[in-house]
Each structure stands twice: as C-alpha cells, then as structure tokens.
Structure 1
Amino acid sequence: MKSTYQYPETKKVAHTDEYFGTKVEDPYRWLEDDRADDTKDWVQREVGFTQNYLAQIPFREDIRSQLKDIWNYEKISAPFEEGDYTYFYKNDGLQAQSVLYRKDKAGNTEVFLDPNQFSEKGTTSLSGLSFNKKGNLVAYSISEGGSDWNKIIIMDAVSKKIFDEPIVCKFSSVAWYKDEGFYYSKYDQPKEGSILSGMTDTHKVYFHKLGTKQSEDQLIIGGESFKRRYMTAGISDDERFLILDAAVNTSGNELYIKDLTKNSEFIPIQKGYDYNTNVVDTKGDEIYVFTDKNAPNMKLQKFNINNPSVWTDVIPETDNVLSVSTGGGYIFAKYMKDAVSFVKQFDYNGKLIREITLPGKGTAGGFGGKEKDKELYYTFTNYITPGTTYKLNVANGKSDVYLKPKVKFNPENYVSEQVFFTSKDGTKVPMMISYKKGLKLNGKNPTILYGYGGFNISVTPSFSVVNAIWMENGGIYAVPNLRGGGEYGKKWHDAGTKQQKKNVFEDFIAAGEYLQKNGYTSPKFMALSGRSNGGLLVGATMTMRPDLAKVAFPGVGVLDMLRYNKFTAGAGWAYDYGTAEDSKEMFEYLKSYSPVHNVKKGVCYPSTMVITSDHDDRVVPAHSFKFGAELQEKQSCNQPVLIRIETNAGHGAGRSTDQVIGENTDILSFALYEMGIKELKK
C-alpha cells in the first residue's frame, strides 16, 4: 500500500559527489542553503502540512492542557552568594524563562535579571553568568533564538548599570581577572554562507579590558599560528594562573598554564589529544587535575607548577566512573555505578572523610561552591522522583531537604526498575524501565524507547514532567545506557565510535527487542526517540530495522554522515564519527548507516516526525530537511512522515516554556495517535 499523503512538493536537483571513486547522488543539496528563498518556501509548506496533520488528533489539546497543568509549579534553584548578595533562579510555573533574583543582607529580595524582558516571545535566553571575585561586576551571556552565537553584556552588579558594548562570541566562558576585565573565546564570524551554517574552526582567546570596544580586545592566543577548534580560558581562584584548554575534537585536549604574577609564557602541561585533562583547583603551587590519562574511569591527580611533569594521585581510579567538584574546603567524588550515583567526601590530600548518604537510587548533582562555604547544595532525582534540592553541612555530612518541588505527581504510584539485556555481540547493557503500577505485560503498552549513545555523555535517571504525563496515560518510558556514552568510562565511549558506531544502534535494537520479548510492548506500540547524536541513533535504527517500531522521532539529528563535518562546528565530532574523507573504509562505513543515504524505495518506515529548528547552528537543519525529503519521497506505506520545524529556536537550550510544551504536546499525541489510540484513558 503506497502512501496516499499529498506531501509538499520537494524538487530534486541533480548533484553528484565522488568519494574514493564512488559516486554519491545528493538531489536535495539545495536544502542546505537556509537563506535561499526556495528553502524558506519549502519550510513554510512543510510547517503547514505538519500542523494540518497534527490538528486532526482528537486528544492533542487534552495532552497540551495536561502538560501545562503539571508544568505549572514553582521552580527555585539552589542559592549562591556573590559579593553582598544571595542569588537564586525562580520560575513561577509557566514563565517562558526563569528569572534571576537576589536577596541582600537585610533579607530584601529584588529581580536582578529577567530574561523574559529580553525579547517579545521569550525566545532570547540567559545562557551564561559570571561574577568577578568581589561580586561587584558581572558578565552575562544571552542567546537569541537558541543560537550558539552569544552576546556578553557587562554590568555593574551593585547598580545594575550596563557599560561597554555587547561582546559577540561563540562557545565561550567568561574568566574575570580582578576588576580589570575578562578572558573569553570567539571565532571570526563566517564570511561564506550564513552565520548559522558557516564553518567555525579557529577559536581565539581574547582579553576584554573594561571601558574599551571589542575591536580593541587583545588577542591572547589563537589564529593560524595556534589553530585549534575549541579553546576555553579559565582563571584560578587566587587569580594567579590563566588556564587554557585547547582541542580539535569533542574528545581529547591540550592543557597550558600561564603564571600571571610572572607574566610568563604558557607552560605546556599536556600536549596532543590522547587524553581529557581539566584543572579542578589550585592551592599555591599545587595544581589539581581531573584526567583519564592511563585511567579510563578518570582519577584526580596533582602536580607542582615548578615541576609539571610529575603527577601524583589524590583520588585514584576505581571500577566506577568518577567526576569531581569542590566546595567548603573539600573535594566531592561523584561516582557512577550502572548509571546510578554515589558520592564520597575527601580532603585535599585524598583522605576519605565520609560517604554522603543519598535519598535513594538515582542521580545526585551539585556539591560545588566556594572554599569558605559552610553549606553546599545538591539535587537528587530519578525517573519517578522530581528533582529535590538538599543542603549539606560539610563539617558533619548531614543533609536536609532545602526545596521539594510541588509537582502534581505521586512517586508511590509508579515503578522504575533496572534490567540488563544482551546486545548482538554479547555485551551486557543496562536499561531503566519506568511505568505506572498495575501495568499488565500484555505487549500492548505504548512505549517510548529513548537513547543517546555518544560523545562520552552519560544518560542518568532524572525526572521529567513530560514522561510523567506519558506514564499517567498508560505509557512506558525506557532508557538503555548505550555504548558511545560515558556510563562505563572511556572504553564504553570508544566502543561506540568510528568503525564501532554500529554497536550503538545494535544496542538500541536489542533494547527494543528485550521490551518486546518480555511483554512490555510490541512493534505496533513502540516509539524510538532521541535528539542530536540521539537523532542519528533513531535515523540509523529506523533505516536498519524499519519493522522495530511503529513511530520514530529523530530530533535535531546528525543525519547526513558524509557531510556533517562541512557545517558550523561539525568537524569537531570526528573523534566519535570519523569523516568520509578519512579513508575509503571510513567513507564506506559511514555511507552504510548514514540515514539520508539509506532510505530505500519499497520499504515501509515508521510513522515519523523529524524534529528540527530553523536557528539550529549546532546540527544544521539541512540534516533533517534532507532526511525528511527522502522519507516523504520513498515511504511505501500509509504511515505519515512529518517534518516539525520550530521557528526562532536552536539546538534545544534556551527555548521558551511554551515552545517546549508545544513540541512535547506534538510528540506525545502523535505517538499515541499513530499507535491507534483513539482516546485518552479517563
């Protein structure tokens, strides 16, 4: 049965590339030009088609009102002190963006920054905030429409008076040096192509002196003589050292340190890109570094700046993956065992003080602060526990609830269980499965299988009001910890990269088969979901195994694996993916799973909603446009292919509450509708 949908017409323009003697057709190359009138016209027609299709779903507005209802609770962050004020973020419930408040010593509270005033529709967000050491100066970054290009605004934190012009940058931190100014990173704005899709591959570090123009900023390092794709400058807490991380990919970095008291040159601490090493803290001449050098599960070491080649262990590597933070004069070691947290407190000599008692099995985050702090804050969450903030007394290790959100959700009514399944090559992979109590394992439960599997990123248990509504409507939410992630350290990450990338897809397929074999669900009631690298996961899985699931949501995905490295910062992902230019073998491997190149005529693909945004300058929308066009042209059955294009939004960060609710309304209602659900359970 052929598709009967009248999709918007997508023209084909002959274009051929050649890789190692193999010709590859690219008839939708024209869709890569996001500024062209014919692309804009196509986008508008696709938006119209998608909205018309979704409008016919009878319970779509019910889902929207359920989401709005559960979303509408007060959200308050942990407090932090800067200068004479205590700051915290608060969202009343449905505000587009959270507001930054502050309280003075007398207890008077005022609004400090309200991002909802930055733009009419709440699509300009606060993307960064950095105070100088005294807390009397602040630099905050704003992102317009979700773009990775940011503007840094400089302000007197006491009077709230703005001075100097905004500083334009991308992928930048702000590192204040006394009251003089700050270090930041930027690329030259692309001359060829649009600012959203042009290549950005030479990062430079500048110093902005207060009271001057950006055009007068001093270049510290970067450019043709020191060409690196990513550079981050940091300042040690005592303002003695300028610390430089430099990298060409998203994995592996060089480390350089400059002693500002001596005005010395940068001292190379780690050259080459074989390891990930970051400075955690400094104490006089001692530099504390967090590294995977000869430690795939990470360790904390230290060295003396006068003898930087001799490193000694502070917290040695263990069988569990480590991350660290500092605060209150202590080091907090956050370990992950099968994607679940446990935390230990150490002194700076590596002596164990205590293990922190956590409220349950889940994800603990935070434990950071200033050295003088007597209390630190952390959050605890899992798939059925809304994120709760705790206050920790660093002297005695006692935790108290600081803020418990008033979400309309009762964890007692839900189950979240961890299972282990076996992938195609025999690898054991963990998965969390969450659902409402009383669920029958009859193979008929709507199920979202969500995955990521890349870039050493760990997917750990966390609560989401969207998943709460999904489970409330009888759904199962399942999350496997796929290879390519960081859940079991560097070896786990590397097992899902380059010519082992298909391990990730095989893990995802095995997760789906486990759920089906064990009666949780069946192909007719399963949806695949993932964003970014997870969008690639969904695109590759649905083209490899179109029979695995009924519905697919490739979100802001990397879908053209032969050309991903031609746009914005895409070339930096080569550690995970390899590129089509590397070798004939790498080209053939990428082409064998690249979603855009593996859509075939005569195949029935799942009902699909390709999700992207017009301002995504991380994974350009061309990936989604081309994949959607291929699917619409070749779909052989009557399962729809929608391309949902969010306007005035980027890769995901900084979207307004309304945009997030809108997207999730469409995801949940489309999934249920395509699974044949006619009405919601009362």
Structure 2
Amino acid sequence: MKKIFLIMIALSTIASFGQKQKQKQKQKQKTSVLKYPLTEKIPVTDDYFGIKVTDNYRWLEDDKSPKTMAWVKAQNVVTYGYLDLIPFRNSLKARVEKLWNYEKISAPFKEGNFTYFYKNNGLQNQSVLYRKDASGAEEIFLDPNTFSKDGTSSLGGVDFSKDGSKVAYGISVGGSDWRSVIIMDALSRKIIEDTIVDVKFSGISWKGNDGFYYSSYDKPEGSELSAKTDQHKLYFHKLGSKQKEDKVIYGLDEKRRYVSGAVSEDNKYLFISAANSTSGNELYMMDLGTKKPKLITIVTGFENDVDVIDNVDSKLYILTNLKAPNKRIVTATFKKPTPENWKDFIPETDQVLTPSIGSGYFFANYMKDAISNIKQYNYEGKLVREVELPGIGTAGGFNGKKEDKTLYYSFTNYTTPGTIYSFEPKAGTSALYQKPVLDFDGNDYESKQVFYTSKDGTKIPMIITHKKGVELNGKNPTILYGYGGFNVSLTPAFSIPNAVWLENGGVYAVPNLRGGGEYGKAWHDAGTKMQKQNVFDDFIAAAEYLIAEKYTSSDFLAIRGGSNGGLLVGATMTQRPDLMKVALPAVGVLDMLRYHTFTAGAGWGYDYGTANDSEEMFNYIYKYSPVQNVKTGAKYPATLVTTGDHDDRVVPAHSFKFAAELQAKQTGTNPTLIRIDVNAGHGAGKSVAALIQESVDIMSFTLFNMGIKELPSLKK
C-alpha cells in the first residue's frame, strides 16, 4: 500500500511539473511572438535642402485625433498584456511599495508668523504642505491629494507675499506645463480672487502684498499640448483686478521664448530675464520705487548666462559665466549695472559654481567631479569657512531670508536617502534634522568613481554603484543611465527604484557626459549642435568600459535616459544595437527634424540646432535623429518606450513615431513596446502610485528580458 501511495505521489509530481512546463512554454510563446497594433502609413514628404524625407507617421502628431487615441489604447493593451505575464512583477511591486513607504519631510521655511514644511506619510500620491504657529500647533495648509480623485493634479509652486499674509499657488492637471493659479488669504485659508488661468513656464514673484508678476504665452491655436508657443510675456496682476486687466511688463513688442521676473527681497527692484533658448539670456531691471518704472538694461545679447542673485540697497550681486565658463559672482551698482563696471566678488575657479544665499551669507556650492563642496562667504567677499558635509555626495539648500538664524540643507548619494540637516551659519555647525527610516542598509553597498576614455580621447567620469563583494563576471544586470545636455549636471542621489535594483544584484552606472554642466560652459558646449555626437560616443564608451571591466556584458546591459536622455538612448541604440540587451528611452526628443515645431521646442536650438538652420546642420542632425535612423531588418534590443499623453514639453508624438518605426522595421524576437501613461506629462507632479507602477514595469521588463528568473529581494 505504501509503495502504491509513493508511486501516486511521484506521478502527481510529474504531472504537476509537466503542467508548469506547459504554462512556462505558453508564457514564453506569448511574450516572444508579439502581435503589434497595425500603424497605418500615410506618407508626408518634406524637402530639406534638396533631400526628400518621408514621414510615414505624421498623423500621430495630432493628439486630439480619435485615430491617435485609438492607437494609444491599442498599444497599451499589447504592452500591459506583455507586462502582466512577467511572473515576478506583482511581487516586485510589493517590494518597491514597502521600501517607498516611509515618512518624508522637507526642510522648513518661514513665511510671516508660520513655519511651513512638506510631508508625505509614505505612499500619499502628493506631498502635503503643513504649517506650525509660534506655539508649535500643526495643521494642514494645502493638501494636493484633494485636487483630484486619481492623484493626477499636483501643486505647481507656492509663493507667499512679502509679509506672508497671502499666497498664490499653481495647479497642474494631468502633468501639463500649463497652470492655474489660486490666490488665497494665508491666515484664513480662504480663496480671495478669481483663478488666474493659462500660466506656463512661470514662477510667481510678489511685489509687496498688493500683487505679483507671472509669465505665460497666448493660448495657441489648435492643441494646447502640442501647438507652438514662442512669445513669452511677463505680466503683473494687481489684487482686486481681473486677469484681463493684467498689464504686460515685458514681451509685448519683444519676441522672446522665455521671460521671467523676480522682485528683490527688499522689494526695491524687479529683475527681468529674457531668452530665446535654454542657454544665454538678456537681463533688465526696474526701480519699483518710482511711479513709472523704466526698463534699465544690464546685459543684451544671448551669448552668456547672467542673473542678479541679491542686492544690498543699490549694490547688485550678479552670477554670470561671462568671461568665466565655470561662473563667478560680480558686483555692480544700480546706476552702473553693465558688464564694463563689474567687479569680481567671488572669482571663477576651476570648479563649477552654484550659489545660494541665506542668513546674511553666500554659500558657494562647487562641483568637484560632480561631488559637492560648500564654501561660506560674507557680504565683503571674505571666505568664512568650508562647510563640513556628512559625506561624499550631493548637498543642496542653504537658502533663506537674511533674517533667518538657522538654515537647512539636504544631503544624499546613491546609497544614502535624502537626509536634512540644520546649519548654524555663525558657528558653522550642522545637526541632524530629519533622517528617513526605511528598510534599506546603505552600508551593504558601495559607489566608486572611475574615469574612462571616450572615442576622441576625452576622459569622462562615471560613478558605479553595486552591492559590496559583487563578482565581476560579466553577468550582473546593469543600468547605464545618462543625460548629456542643457548644462544639466548629474550628481549622486538616492532613488527607491534604484535601491531595489541594487538589492537584486544590479549595478547602476552614471557617466557625466559632455553636454552636461559638470565642468562648466566648455563641457556643455562640447556636446551641442555639431558636436552632439560626442555625447553618444561618451555613452557608448561608458558601456564598453563596463563590459571590458566585466561589470556586465551586452546580454545584461540596459541603457536608460529621459527627455534629452531619451534622445541619448534612441541615438545609441540605433547606432550600436549590438551593445545592449535592453533600451529604455523615456519622454525622449526622438524626431530631431521636427522637435522645434512643437510647443516651446524651438528654445532648445542652442543645444541641438535645427534642421532648417543650414544644409550642414540638417545633414548632421539627419545622421543621428532616432526616428529617421531605424533600419529595416536590424535587430534592436528589447525596447520599452515610455511617455505621457499630456506631455506638452516633449510631445508624445516623438515616442509614438519611434515606436511605430521600430515595430515596423526591426527583426528578431526582442519586444518593442510603448507604455503611454494617461493623464500624465513630462514627469513633474506625477503621483506616487504612478511613479511606483512605472518603475516596477520598467524594472520588470528589463530583468525579464535579461533572462532573470529569481529576484533576491523577494526572498526577504
């Protein structure tokens, strides 16, 4: 009897095993043979300097079209159908949620008689703005989670009047850059005026307590999410008046793509920045103490960046890269503000300067190979001290009003969650203010900086992070993340999804590519226009370094980047599809022949140039533009394109067309999917729930296509 029982168990086990094998085979068939939605080709041909370029998917640029909406829905059905079959996806989500679920508190700031701070209890979709009175009594001031049921409406900036009695705050719906501005009595928390609408790319700067300056474009014809906007205007809204009565301060006659206004802390001056691109600006000022303020020129032309960062009476403190690629602070006077009258206050050094001001001091944040180094100066330009930081990483903050006695700063790196410290400027001492408590021990991991050689011999820094004791056997799942543009510096910062990646034996590598701001204007310029290929070469060389040093191999390498970094991924995967297993271009600028025809895209011309500039510029861009360089019959890596249907900065048509080209032309079984978030934009204000799901989907897709079957973190 016992023998029969054992035979039955054995047969049952064999049957069960066979069933599991059939399920695995069925799953493999479903994920390896994908049937993509049919994307209709409707050719539109453009002539660039005698070269005809056909765009088969121009119709996908119409975001209002029912046909485009149907395409989006159909693509998402295929994408989520694929993701649903990944066996560890739900377990991975549970782990990310668990790690994400810790209290996060911002540095406090004072407005009027209250101290304000942001707090998220862990998984709230949007952080809540709280305040305390002098007695320490705490209350919710603004809760963005009440703006919409699904968490897709977010707070787009909060600005208080000079005495803190009034506040104007922006609301973004569905991730769009367009804002509505609500004006409220800060004491009673009652709305006191009609909503200001159609505000875009704008801060709010109060003139006393009577009104504020803001910037926007005229509402474009056609879709507000994709139509071109290129004449920015600065307005003044006087409390008690209607928006239609708001006076244009600058931009009515002058055509500028980006205009902003900032009132000095002492309420004496208005400083106006005007630019046509994301680099270089003109600078003007007005004396607000006169009845009819006149526009006074500080700098004209767009060759350099210049900004008034503070003043003491009529003495101006100006940050600029004019004759100083790594930036310097100079002084001038209201009566003689132009460059020939400038005097060095904090001279340029061999490290890039980013200053902040608070408590009557200047804090010079220098970058040494993308690592923070803080020096404190007084208003006579004398070095007070070098601020001792908690470790090697990224420090930010040291901002405040002149009368503030205590300042705050944050510190983070790839293995240290963002931690807030208080700082006493007179004594120069730091104290721990808020340390997050989460289920991750950064001591188990290490980061190191290496310098590798790019194609033309340039040395490029890269920080590589992984679990201590990792075996360099070429089989470690690796994410290579990059940006390389717009003077943006990638400095060490903690991320929950990256922490989960590291837990699972992953390697995370971030090179500081040319085009960024890590080494000043020269480094930025070396990755722009007809030197843009340098950025792609730097990224390719980073991948080759990781492979040569056996951190990973082409079978376990994923490349990732967003926005300009999405372009980086798109160009790299079309130039070297053999180099990586997975490609993850997010909200990417991928159709380089047409990027400048959408929303404010023409303002990116400093970095890219445009296809209309010259025949030489067209030929250069055409050679690397991802949409135009997908080749029929090429074997591209497993690709997950991500975007949002409300992205009005890099319109989703870029991603739509790139995905359509890949699906139509590539060969092999590697999936090419596009994941399109609904009611989401370029990234800012995205709900925590959406951020978690997106990160889980990207990580699951990546690991699954690397052949990873079991995740160490899920054994916890």
Q: Please give the TM-score of this superposition, normalised by the length of structure 2.
A: 0.94
Partner of residue 534 from structure 2, selected from 503, 506, 511:
503
Please tell me whether residue 528 in structure 1 is matched to residue 559 in structure 2. Answer: yes
User: Could you tell me whether the CA contact under 8 Å between 1:366 and 1:379 is conserved in 2?
Assistant: yes
Residue type of the alignment partner of 2:354:
S
Report the 3-state secondary structure (helix = DSSP H, G, I; strand = E; otherwise coil) of the residue aligned with 1:307: coil
Task: List gaps (5 residues or longer) in structure 2.
Answer: 1-31
Supply the distance in 2 between the matched residues of 1:175 and 1:55 (Cα, whole angstroms): 47
Task: Name which one, 1 or 2, has greater alpha-carbon Rg.
Answer: 2
Supply the distance in 2 between the matched residues of 1:534 and 1:105 (Cα, whole angstroms): 46
Please tell me whether residue 474 in structure 1 is matched to residue 505 in structure 2. Answer: yes
Structure 1 residue 28, shift from structure 2 partner: 0.3
Structure 1 residue 595, shift from structure 2 partner: 0.2
Question: What is the aligned partner in structure 2 of residue 146 from structure 1?
Answer: 175
Question: What is the aligned partner in structure 1 of residue 55 from structure 2?
Answer: 26
Supply the distance in 1 between the matched residues of 2:501 and 2:250 (Cα, whole angstroms): 50
Question: What is the aligned partner in structure 1 of residue 208 from structure 2?
Answer: 178
User: Could you tell me whether the CA contact under 8 Å between 1:414 and 1:436 is conserved in 2?
Assistant: yes
Please tell me whether residue 135 in structure 1 is matched to residue 164 in structure 2. Answer: yes
Partner of residue 222 from structure 1, selected from 229, 251, 255:
251
Question: What is the aligned partner in structure 1 of residue 598 from structure 2?
Answer: 567
Supply the distance in 2 between the matched residues of 1:49 and 1:302 (Cα, whole angstroms): 59
Supply the distance in 2 between the matched residues of 1:323 and 1:240 (Cα, whole angstroms): 25
Supply the distance in 2 between the matched residues of 1:166 and 1:600 (Cα, whole angstroms): 50
Partner of residue 224 from structure 2, selected from 190, 195, 199:
195
Please tell me whether residue 577 in structure 1 is matched to residue 608 in structure 2. Answer: yes
262-271 or 517-526: which moved more? 262-271
Supply the distance in 2 between the matched residues of 1:215 and 1:266 (Cα, whole angstroms): 23
Please tell me whether residue 51 in structure 1 is matched to residue 92 in structure 2. Answer: no
Structure 1 residue 222, shift from structure 2 partner: 1.1
Supply the distance in 2 between the matched residues of 1:200 and 1:439 (Cα, whole angstroms): 50
Report the 3-state secondary structure (helix = DSSP H, G, I; strand = E; otherwise coil) of the residue aligned with 1:184: strand
Supply the distance in 1 between the matched residues of 2:293 and 2:324 (Cα, whole angstroms): 31
Structure 1 residue 602, shift from structure 2 partner: 1.3
422-431 or 205-214: which moved more? 205-214
Let me know the Cα RMSD of the aligned residues: 0.9
Structure 1 residue 106, shift from structure 2 partner: 1.2
State how 1:438-477 maps to structure 2 within 5 Å: 438-477=469-508
Partner of residue 247 from structure 1, selected from 258, 275, 281:
275
Question: What is the aligned partner in structure 1 of residue 619 from structure 2?
Answer: 588
Deviations 1:71-100 (A, max 9, x none): 000000011110110000000000000000
Supply the distance in 1 between the matched residues of 2:293 and 2:169 (Cα, whole angstroms): 30
Supply the distance in 2 between the matched residues of 1:602 and 1:221 (Cα, whole angstroms): 53
Question: What is the aligned partner in structure 1 of residue 12 from structure 2?
Answer: none
Question: Where do 4+ consecutive residues of structure 1 move more than 2 Å?
Answer: none
Deviations 1:142-194 (A, max 9, x none): 11111000011000000001021111200011111112111111100111x20
Structure 1 residue 4, shift from structure 2 partner: 3.8
State how 1:52-451 maps to structure 2 within 5 Å: 52-168=81-197, 169-191=199-221, 193-223=222-252, 225-262=253-290, 263-309=292-338, 310-451=341-482
Supply the distance in 2 between the matched residues of 1:217 and 1:650 (Cα, whole angstroms): 28
Report the 3-state secondary structure (helix = DSSP H, G, I; strand = E; otherwise coil) of the residue aligned with 2:463: strand
Please tell me whether residue 547 in structure 1 is matched to residue 578 in structure 2. Answer: yes
Supply the distance in 1 between the matched residues of 2:195 and 2:682 (Cα, whole angstroms): 23
Structure 1 residue 107, shift from structure 2 partner: 1.1
Residue type of the alignment partner of 2:308:
V
Supply the distance in 2 between the matched residues of 1:393 and 1:4 (Cα, whole angstroms): 62
Supply the distance in 2 between the matched residues of 1:212 and 1:114 (Cα, whole angstroms): 27
Supply the distance in 2 between the matched residues of 1:170 and 1:140 (Cα, whole angstroms): 13
Supply the distance in 1 between the matched residues of 2:34 and 2:174 (Cα, whole angstroms): 32
Q: Please give the TM-score of this superposition, normalised by the length of structure 1.
A: 0.99
Report the 3-state secondary structure (helix = DSSP H, G, I; strand = E; otherwise coil) of the residue aligned with 1:243: strand
Deviations 1:484-512 (A, max 9, x none): 00000000000000000000000000000
Supply the distance in 2 between the matched residues of 1:16 and 1:663 (Cα, whole angstroms): 36
User: Could you tell me whether the CA contact under 8 Å between 1:185 and 1:204 is conserved in 2?
Assistant: yes
Supply the distance in 2 between the matched residues of 1:95 and 1:257 (Cα, whole angstroms): 42
Deviations 1:379-424 (A, max 9, x none): 1111011111010001010001110011211111001110000000
Supply the distance in 1 between the matched residues of 2:703 and 2:143 (Cα, whole angstroms): 37
1 or 2, which has the higher helix percentage?
2
Structure 1 residue 437, shift from structure 2 partner: 1.1
Please tell me whether residue 493 in structure 1 is matched to residue 542 in structure 2. Answer: no
State how 1:624-635 maps to structure 2 within 5 Å: 624-635=655-666
Report the 3-state secondary structure (helix = DSSP H, G, I; strand = E; otherwise coil) of the residue aligned with 1:368: coil
User: Could you tell me whether the CA contact under 8 Å between 1:131 and 1:139 is conserved in 2?
Assistant: yes
Structure 1 residue 63, shift from structure 2 partner: 1.0
Residue type of the alignment partner of 2:150:
K
Please tell me whether residue 664 in structure 1 is matched to residue 695 in structure 2. Answer: yes
Deviations 1:356-385 (A, max 9, x none): 001111000001001011110001111011
Supply the distance in 2 between the matched residues of 1:319 and 1:514 (Cα, whole angstroms): 27
402-411 or 540-549: which moved more? 402-411
Report the 3-state secondary structure (helix = DSSP H, G, I; strand = E; otherwise coil) of the residue aligned with 1:300: strand
Report the 3-state secondary structure (helix = DSSP H, G, I; strand = E; otherwise coil) of the residue aligned with 1:165: coil
Supply the distance in 2 between the matched residues of 1:554 and 1:274 (Cα, whole angstroms): 31
Supply the distance in 1 between the matched residues of 2:57 and 2:478 (Cα, whole angstroms): 33
Question: What is the aligned partner in structure 1 of residue 668 from structure 2?
Answer: 637
Supply the distance in 2 between the matched residues of 1:285 and 1:546 (Cα, whole angstroms): 58
Deviations 1:232-252 (A, max 9, x none): 001011111011000000000
Supply the distance in 2 between the matched residues of 1:438 and 1:180 (Cα, whole angstroms): 61
Report the 3-state secondary structure (helix = DSSP H, G, I; strand = E; otherwise coil) of the residue aligned with 1:164: coil
Structure 1 residue 264, shift from structure 2 partner: 3.1
Report the 3-state secondary structure (helix = DSSP H, G, I; strand = E; otherwise coil) of the residue aligned with 2:476: coil
Supply the distance in 2 between the matched residues of 1:668 and 1:653 (Cα, whole angstroms): 20
212-221 or 199-208: which moved more? 212-221
Residue type of the alignment partner of 1:221:
Y
Report the 3-state secondary structure (helix = DSSP H, G, I; strand = E; otherwise coil) of the residue aligned with 2:270: strand
Task: List gaps (5 residues or longer) in structure 1.
Answer: none
User: Could you tell me whether the CA contact under 8 Å between 1:58 and 1:679 is conserved in 2?
Assistant: no
Residue type of the alignment partner of 1:220:
I
Q: How many matched pairs?
A: 679
Deviations 1:456-496 (A, max 9, x none): 00000001111000000110000000000000000000000
Question: What is the aligned partner in structure 2 of residue 512 from structure 1?
Answer: 543
Residue type of the alignment partner of 2:267:
E
Supply the distance in 1 between the matched residues of 2:262 and 2:382 (Cα, whole angstroms): 27
User: Could you tell me whether the CA contact under 8 Å between 1:332 and 1:346 is conserved in 2?
Assistant: yes
Supply the distance in 2 between the matched residues of 1:456 and 1:307 (Cα, whole angstroms): 30
User: Could you tell me whether the CA contact under 8 Å between 1:196 and 1:568 is conserved in 2?
Assistant: yes
Residue type of the alignment partner of 2:206:
W
Question: What is the aligned partner in structure 1 of residue 647 from structure 2?
Answer: 616
Supply the distance in 2 between the matched residues of 1:233 and 1:167 (Cα, whole angstroms): 17
Structure 1 residue 5, shift from structure 2 partner: 2.1
Please tell me whether residue 537 in structure 1 is matched to residue 537 in structure 2. Answer: no
Supply the distance in 2 between the matched residues of 1:459 and 1:498 (Cα, whole angstroms): 20
Deviations 1:15-59 (A, max 9, x none): 100000000000000000000011011000001000000000000
